[in-house]
A and B are shown apart, each in its own frame.
Chain A
Amino acid sequence: MQAKGFVHCYPDNVDTDVIIPARYLNTPNAQELAAHCMEDIDPAFPQKVHRGDIMVAGWNFGCGSSREHAPLAIKTSGISCVIAKTFARIFYRNAINIGLAILECEEAANRIQPGDEVQIDFDSGTITNLTQQESYQAQPFPPFIQNIIQKGGLMNAIQSKEDNTHE
């Protein structure tokens, strides 16, 4: 699995209230949520994001509320992967569970500049910066989590497990 796109950069401690403000949580509709994604930190984001683009941020990305609407809004806006130094733990779980690719890589977060074109190989965890012609190595997921991602999210993973149990 690979991703390739241009980068949008954000600081440390990006919280779920700026990723998708609570005033829009009166709907679970992914398209409506994506239309307001990042609105309170980067109002132009919904207009400037292109399918396949990559988000890069600092420490503790996605802190705050457990709202799954946050990774859902990012994924639906077209972002193919979020790279951060660390993720807040509920956001981390939610991203895996809904199939939004995320990678923790401090070096990539330090080096990558806004607008850089970046390519990611998820199997190896290698992040290649095509603009700056350098690459960074992220930790690949443990097999347990890779299985959830390969099955297309948690619900598919538990369904295939239940099917196996019943056989």
Chain B
Amino acid sequence: MGMTMTQKILAAHAGLESVTAGQLIEAKLDMVLGNDITSPVAIQEFEKAGFQQVFDRTKISLVMDHFAPNKDIKAAQQTKQSREFANKYDILNFYDVGSMGIEHALLPEKGLVGAGDCVIGADSHTCTYGALGAFSTGVGSTDMAAGMATGTCWFKVPSAIRFNLVGQLSGWASGKDVILTIIGMIGVDGALYKSMEFTGSGLASLSMDDRLCMANMAIEAGAKNGIFEVDDITIAYMKDRVQKPYTIYQADPDAQYDAEYTIDLSTIVPTVAYPHLPENTHPASESKHISIDQVVIGSCTNGRSSDMEIAAKILKGKKIAKNVRAIVIPATQKIFTECIQKGWMETFVEAGCVVSTPTCGPCLGGYMGILAQGERCVATTNRNFVGRMGHVESEVYLASPAVAAASALTGYITAPKEEN
């Protein structure tokens, strides 16, 4: 029986000719990732179990991004613990304040993940790297500890849902709007335990930033991973970044899927997910009745270069609405520098935004933009659960950078105009 992209990668990493959905396997890992919240728990487990060495110091990435730069004393203890572990085991890819960025923007940018890789990360949005044609999935800290020690991880081979993308995106519609639309369609557990495999002629109109954003939110449909078929756009992205050999896996023509959907990208419109689930989607154009207090443009979902460019394009020469706070967070140091070089930084500041060093901070209600009781925020992030960005009676509306920027200017949820 034919295999999906995900099944082929898992079979190759388990040393098997083929695998089938439901099979339990042990796979070799190409990268094990942790951040400043999940690594301390993993380090505790690693040390408690008495391990004396890591499986490969070049295949572990520790990124201090969630509560870093340290938001309080306890957060400082957690990055300190991670730093000491990284030094003790000479971890090659340890990214601290000054070199760090938001992990899922940073690893692809640094070329640390390539097509065909098998990656686990103690962060649910590790599924982002599926944009590169890798199998990549979020796990907990104990899996991370075991992965750091043994270089392997157990998996139940997932079945898959295939999304056949056709047509082209138009206007301000972006990858964010595509993935929000899909989650609205299949629900927050619509792909539970499964792979979401994205293929089709429509891929040609999706940039790597669009794909990274879409794969990032596969977890919001409950998926084990999201994965894109590798094409010329992927290969061009990897060309100057990925230094190691990579492998392109394509699904067999007779691969089995639990369901198949065809999505015409030309029908996708700017979309907003209302509180308190990412599946509560509505067109941005029908959301004018929702006034807002804050906008956040950034995160592992939408803090990349093209996200900054789109926000700057809409904000250029304009002013943020009264009583709206706009927080812009370029996801990595490289993107931060690009914002300066291209003049976007000046645009943001002159419009009345504040621009932060890379951090996950506000997305998960950590710091750098916490919401008060009753406040509403349009965020380019990935979750709008109860209390996600602050008070339990605050509200998060998920949207693209274009919608977030347009909303910042008006003070209510706004679909960007065509002439922008």
Which residues of A are in contact with B by a Cβ distance under 8 Å? 13, 15, 17-18, 21-23, 25-28, 40-41, 59-60, 63-69, 71-72, 86, 88-90, 93-94, 97-98, 142, 144, 153-156, 158-159, 162
Contacts and interface: CB of A to CB of B under 8 A. Distances in A.
Nearest to B49: A155
Contacts of A97: 140, 142-143, 146
B222 interface: yes
A29 B244 CA distance: 39
Contact of B44 (A17, A21, A28, A86): A28
Contacts of A23: 365-366
A156 B37 CA distance: 23
Nearest to B39: A28
Contacts of B332: none
B186 to A, nearest CB: 12
B124 A90 contact: yes
A72 B40 CA distance: 14
Interface string B113-141: 00000000111101000000000001111
Contacts of A69: 37, 41
Contact of B154 (A21, A26, A144): A144
B57 to A, nearest CB: 19
Contacts of A68: 38, 41, 122, 140-142
B189 A66 contact: no
B355 interface: no
Contacts of A142: 24
Interface in B192-235: 192-193, 219, 222, 224
Interface size class of B (residues with CB under 8 A): 35 or more
B139 A66 contact: yes
Contact of B49 (A22, A89, A93, A159): A159
B392 A40 contact: yes
Interface in B65-104: 66-67, 71-72, 74-75, 77-78
28 contacts: A15-B385, A17-B383, A26-B37, A26-B67, A26-B74, A40-B387, A40-B392, A65-B364, A66-B38, A66-B122, A66-B126, A67-B37, A86-B189, A89-B192, A90-B124, A90-B139, A90-B219, A93-B139, A93-B140, A94-B141, A94-B142, A97-B143, A98-B140, A154-B142, A154-B146, A155-B49, A158-B49, A158-B146
B192 A60 contact: yes
Given A66-B122, A144-B154, A155-B145, A13 B74 contact: no
B287 interface: no
Contacts of B392: 40
Interface string B55-68: 00000000000110
Contact of B386 (A40, A59, A90, A162): A40
A50 to B, nearest CB: 25
Contacts of A67: 37-38, 140
